[in-house]
Amino acid sequence: MLLSAHSVVVNSDIDFLALSKKEKSPRMRIRLLALAHIKDGTSYREVAKMLKTSTHSVQTYANKFRDSGIDGLRDKEGRGRKPNFPRDKEKELEKVILEKQKKRNGGRLTGNDIHKIVENDFGIKCALRTIYDLLHRIDFVCISSRSKHPKSDKKTQEDFKRNFKKKNYRSSA
């Protein structure tokens, strides 16, 4: 015999209010608050009015709790559009970018360079904007150190700095 969702919630030993205070997800928090109100004897309609949602939604929360428990209230995976670049390959891309940057003698990798890497090495065709979104997702920042010319010589630069006379423009001769 299938029990009503209302009776399952009311007779539950779970402290929905305490769970809602610990919950990070705002949607889940509202669902737990709705169940807490139902457990306290508030009608579905009054709960919906308090939480500014529909009565149908409140009934759905109760039914999901009856059928699957607390886990039934959580959002299911698969919502929204999937990223063009798979998340499991992000670490691999990060390693490739860092290796290619170290191999460069001068300059830095640009978005177009990384776009070519993604197309050639990973076989994924996407827009340049997607590359910048991907770089943001893996915490790469556009700010980088100043580039060095491939033929620059550090010793010569230091000698120049040491031997260069500063002119005093304030004093008149």
DSSP 62-104: HHHHHHHGGGGGSPPS--SPPPSS-GGGHHHHHHHHHHHHHH-
pLDDT tens digit sequence for 17-62 = 999 999 999 999 999 999 999 999 999 999 999 999 999 999 999 9
DSSP 170: S
78, 122 in Cβ contact below 8 A? no
pTM across the whole model: 0.51
Mean pLDDT in residue range 134-156: 79
96, 90 in Cβ contact below 8 A? no
Residue 31: the pLDDT is 95
Higher-pLDDT residue of 139, 171? 139
Residue with tokens 């809602």: 20
pLDDT tens digit sequence for 120-144 = 999 999 999 999 999 998 888 766 6
Cα–Cα distance, 128 to 162 (Å, whole number): 45
